[in-house]
Amino acid sequence: MVIVLRKWNKKGFTAIDSLIGLTIISAFSLFYIHVTTQMNQNIDDSQRTMIVERKNYEKNDPTIIISKKEVAIY
């Protein structure tokens, strides 16, 4: 039994395959960058909120005495 393979025009397939691969890689790269940026922005916002709330708490609570070495609560 002899198998005869036809010669296919692979130039078009190669170009389409490359474009699909680049599209997938680009999409996931953009998704990764977006998620990373959003996470960093959320972390920064949370840290700013924590700093503001801590300053408000320390300013409004007279029972906290802050010394150089320790924090004592009476």
The pTM of this model reads 0.56
Q: Calculate mean pLDDT across residues 31-48.
A: 96
The CA distance from 28 to 34, in Å, is: 10
pLDDT of res. 63? 64
pLDDT digits (tens, 9 = 90+) for 2-28: 666 666 656 656 778 889 999 999 999
Q: 1 or 59: whose pLDDT is higher?
A: 59
Residue 72 and residue 65 in contact, taking contact as beta carbons nearer than 8 Å: yes
Say how far apart CA 50 and CA 48 lie, in whole Å.
5
